[in-house]
Structures are given as C-alpha cells and as structure tokens.
Amino acid sequence: MNMVIPNEGKLLLLAWAIRDDTAFAGGYFVGLFSNNYTPVNSSVLADFTPASFVGYSVVVLARLDFAPPVILSNVAYITSSVTPIYDCTGGAPETVYGWFMADATLTKVVAAQRFDVPRVMSPGTEEALDPFRIALKTFT
C-alpha cells in the first residue's frame, strides 16, 4: 500500500518546514555548487563544493521571504519573493552544476537541484534562480 500526503497536508508540511517554524528563525543560505554532483536522498552539505568565481557569494533568504505554499497539479510549491542572483565579475570561468539551500548554521542541506545543463560563469555572466521555489509531492 502506498502512503499519500494529501494536498492540504503538503501545504501544511511545506509551510511548517520552510516558512512558519519559529524555532528555526535563522533563515537560509542559497548557493551554487561547482562539483559535478547529482543530489540524492542521502546528500549532506559536505557533498556540495560551493562556487568560487570572482563576485560569488551565497544569498541569504529569511523565512518570511517565502510566500505561503500553493498546490499546482498535486504538488505543493513554496516560492521566495527574493530571487537569488549570482554575478561573475572577473577572473577565470567556472562551471556550476546546480544550487543548494542550507540552514543558517551551514550544517544541513535543506534542498538542492542540479541544472539540466551546467552553467559556465565567466566574467559578465549572471545566473538568476527565478523563480526560486521548493516542491513537495507524493511519490507513488
């Protein structure tokens, strides 16, 4: 028998986990990773090598930067009102393979995604994660 998380449960869980948990007031760090890695269920923060191109820095998001979650085609999405943007301002090009989101203490990876196509960050390029959103769904 398959367990199902009904849509109202998905909304509740995603809101608690990302936006509403007052015990977790620190917010999040969102960064790009430069190692050729595909995130998996057992990924930990140490699996991601943060980008290091000139101009790079992680983007800080607060809990309340996220709007209340919504359901689209039985998937719960929570979207940030802040778009993480990364600019390469000089130096040698660097390939980035995706993004990761960590807790404010930089001890846990909360979410991660590999890009469909790696991005080459060379001087003058910009990568915007727009929209920046996290999804929760039931797998069958």
Distances, alpha carbon 51 to alpha carbons 32, 62, 89, 125, 134, in Å: 6, 22, 13, 14, 21
Q: How many domains does the chain have?
A: 1
List alpha helices for 32-99, DSSP H: none
Q: What is the C-alpha to C-alpha distance for residues 33 and 23, in angstroms, rounded to an integer?
A: 28
Kindly indicate the confidence band of residue 5, based on its pLDDT and cuts at 50, 70 and 90.
confident
Structural domain contains residue 2: no
| pTM of the predicted model as reported, rounded to 2 decimal places | 0.91
What pLDDT digit, counting tens, does each position of 19-68 carry?
886 655 678 999 999 999 999 989 999 999 999 999 999 999 999 999 99
Q: What is the pLDDT of residue 50?
A: 98
The model's confidence at residue 137, banded by pLDDT at 50, 70 and 90, is confident
* Predicted local distance difference test score (pLDDT) of residue 16: 86
Domain-located, residue 107:
yes
Residue 105 resides in a domain = yes
The range of the structural domain enclosing residue 25 comes to: 7-136
| Tokens of residue 112, six digits | 């991660």
Residue 33 lies in a domain: yes
Within-domain flag for 109: yes
Cα–Cα distances in Å, from 85 out to 22, 23, 31, 130?
Answer: 27, 28, 9, 9
